[in-house]
A and B are shown apart, each in its own frame.
Chain A
Amino acid sequence: MVLSSAPPKGQADVPQRRRIKDKSSKMGAPLAFMSPFLLLFAIFFLLPIGYAIYESLLQIKVSGLGIGPNSTTTQFAGLANYAKVLANASFISGVGRVLEFGIVQVPIMLILATTLALLLDSASVYLKRFFRLVFFLPYGIPGVIAAILWSFLYLPGLSPIVSILKGVGFGSINFLGIHSVLWSIANIVTWEYTGYNMLIIYAGLQAIPQSLYEAARIDGASEIQVAFRIKIPLVVSSLVLTAVFSIIGTLQLFSEPQVLRSVTTNISSSFTPNLLAYTKAFVENNPNFAAAAAVVLAVGTFILSFGFLKLVQRRALSEVEV
């Protein structure tokens, strides 16, 4: 993404004359402008990260029977919590589950979003404004409410979908089964975010100068060729942006499975890594393990999204500049 790109030259130029004359405004003014943000950023971003690392290095030791105020002591544990997290079968299977989810759901959603954006940008589709509004609508519905809504649509007896499918002859399909429930969650996430991703890609498409298409059409390119040869390569940066945010969202999956737990027992309290961390911290009262799990997850997310970014950036650059 933007992380490695140099700042646009010349934007930040304060004329030389002033820089030499007035030293205090050189540091003073920008610091004054940035200090409210930097202060809050330090307290609510950097400090929690530091504190999570600190907590993850401690553990609570119980002495005697564990009764009474002085029966527990907190001591330094080194990397013991990390060892426990990485050896925890629930954590590992949770990570595996969200990875499986991501490998299937993210490409489906992005292909769908790209297709819709290309169609909206093409000449073959009418009622563009209407479709754009409709596709974007689910993003205006908070994730928890979307999950509650879909939980009703999955529930036999309540759901018109289940009864219609039964009427058409599909039998009674169980959306909340032990294997199907993961994909039912994938459907909720796809429903929520396809339109948002479509809009990002569509914004990229709209920024392409029309003259590029004209040149291609004079050369006799079909609309599909234009889409694959010109449009998609030119919105690669938007696609990367959507992919990175989708990867982050997938690994952090929490609200949708948490909400669906009220309608099915097939989602365990360790279904996703975040659910496990939540359970450890608030149900089992083990904040140290939870902190270590949160750190592992955050580092993993960062490596994966950053790595993806670097990988694609290099390839995209070499392709576009040919």
Chain B
Amino acid sequence: MSIAPPIAPERQRAPFRKSSILAMAFMFVMATYFLLPAYWLVISSTKGPTQLYASQGLWISGFKLFSNLSGLFSYNGGIYLQWIINTVLYAGIGAAVATLISALAGYGLSKYNFKGKELIFSIILGGVLVPGTALALPLYLLLAKVHLTNTYWSVLIPAFVSPFGVFLARVYAGAAIPNELIEAGRIDGASEFKIFRTIAFRIMSPALVTIFLFQFVAIWNNFFLPLVMLSNQKLYPVTLGLYSWDNQYGQAPQLISYVVLGSLISVIPLVIAFLSLQRFWRSGLTAGSVKL
């Protein structure tokens, strides 16, 4: 990655200064704080329910990882796998469609002049400030009227809307797509949509990855919307599923081990994707604050 400022830090690095030791000590304390729960999760996923309570929390005791695994994937007819699939569908399709729609809208707002443009943009930006939880409840009441609650659609379609995505797409299109290129396309007789598809879309692709990431995580993280919309367990995303198990230890004590392991498995792909795509976060965040 090309983010670290290339020369400056090297030049004035004086090893083992007092301030440096203090700073490093602080960094390690903070790193412990951020890593400890994750470490506990990894260790605990290898324990059965009895060892979870009986053993020292920070070390392995009675290796039960494989029985936890088979239990997790077979409990209640293998519903955990269904939850994982649902989550991938909600977040994957939701974020892909949201990215496409945001790219179109951001491009339209950036590259054309028309009446009411700034008003529309202001309303969309107002949408960034409207919290998702405030919308979920009225959305539920609304969808209940048309009998659409407790369906895939009730969780999927609201995720197509990303005001923040439109904002990023507009800023990026404005900065990265030269008007001359669009003009050249027009002179060659390309339609407006073809210009978008063949020129703009490609130039905007780094911003589109950022939008996809933001929306993907937003959907993956959204708890309130599926909680109010869904009553059929088979439609749950994994967060809601694990939450429902978290409330059933009374009836089924083995569930605590499944929740621990299930939490670990559900975050592994996300954490990897996320850390390896970190530079896209940064580019999006920079775009967001530059325009501030």
Contact = CB atoms under 8 A, between A and B. Distances in A.
Interface of A: 1-3, 5, 7-8, 11-15, 18-19, 25-27, 29-34, 36-38, 40-41, 44-45, 47-49, 51-52, 55, 112, 116, 119, 122-146, 148-153, 157-161, 163, 191, 194-195, 199-200, 202-204, 206-207, 210, 213, 223, 235, 237-238, 240-241, 244, 248-249, 251-252, 254-255, 258-259, 262, 274, 277-278, 281-282, 287, 290-291, 294, 297-298, 301-302, 305-306
A160 B228 contact: no
Contacts of B52: 158
A152 B44 contact: yes
Contacts of B23: 119, 122, 124-125
Contact of A149 (B1, B8, B37): B37
Interface of A is mostly: helix
- Among A32, A146, A160, chain B packs the most CB atoms within 10 A around the CB of A160
B126 interface: yes
Given A3-B126, A41-B161, A157-B53, A199 B134 contact: no
A118 to B, nearest CB: 10
B151 to A, nearest CB: 15
B141 A55 contact: yes
B207 interface: no
A2 B114 contact: no
Nearest to A131: B27
Given A48-B135, A135-B30, A142 B243 contact: no
Given A146-B37, A259-B243, 20 more contacts: A11-B174, A12-B112, A29-B112, A45-B163, A48-B142, A51-B141, A133-B278, A138-B37, A142-B270, A145-B266, A148-B259, A150-B37, A160-B58, A200-B285, A203-B289, A206-B282, A241-B289, A244-B129, A252-B131, A301-B131
B127 A140 contact: no
Interface in B62-79: none
Interface in B227-250: 228, 239-240, 242-243, 246-247
B252 interface: no
A37 B220 contact: no
B289 A237 contact: yes
Contacts of A294: 134, 137-138
Contact of A136 (B1, B120, B193, B275): B275
A248 B129 contact: yes
Nearest to B1: A129
A252 B186 contact: no
B77 to A, nearest CB: 22
B284 to A, nearest CB: 9
B90 to A, nearest CB: 12
Contacts, number: 315
A14 B139 contact: no
B120 A38 contact: yes
A151 B101 CA distance: 38
B192 interface: yes
B157 interface: yes
A137 B271 contact: yes
Nearest to B118: A7
Nearest to A204: B289
Contact of A45 (B110, B127, B270): B127
Contact of A142 (B53, B114, B220): B220
Interface size class of B (residues with CB under 8 A): 35 or more
Given A195-B34, A199-B281, A278-B228, A47 B24 contact: no
Contact of A277 (B38, B122, B137): B137
A200 B138 contact: no
Contacts of B117: 12, 30
B47 to A, nearest CB: 11
A37 B57 contact: no
Interface in B26-43: 26-27, 30-31, 33-35, 37-38, 40-41
Contacts of B107: 33
A108 B223 CA distance: 25
A142 B101 contact: no
B220 A51 contact: no
17 contacts: A8-B175, A11-B110, A11-B174, A11-B175, A14-B112, A27-B115, A30-B114, A40-B157, A48-B142, A126-B24, A134-B34, A136-B275, A202-B282, A248-B129, A281-B137, A281-B228, A290-B137
B223 A144 contact: yes
A37 B161 contact: yes
A13 B239 CA distance: 46
Contacts of B37: 138, 146, 149-150, 153, 191
B137 A278 contact: yes
B108 interface: yes
A159 B240 CA distance: 23
Nearest to B286: A203
B125 A305 contact: no
Nearest to B266: A145
A34 B109 contact: yes
Given A55-B138, A145-B239, A203-B289, A34 B122 contact: no
B104 A37 contact: yes
B224 A255 contact: yes
B34 A44 contact: no
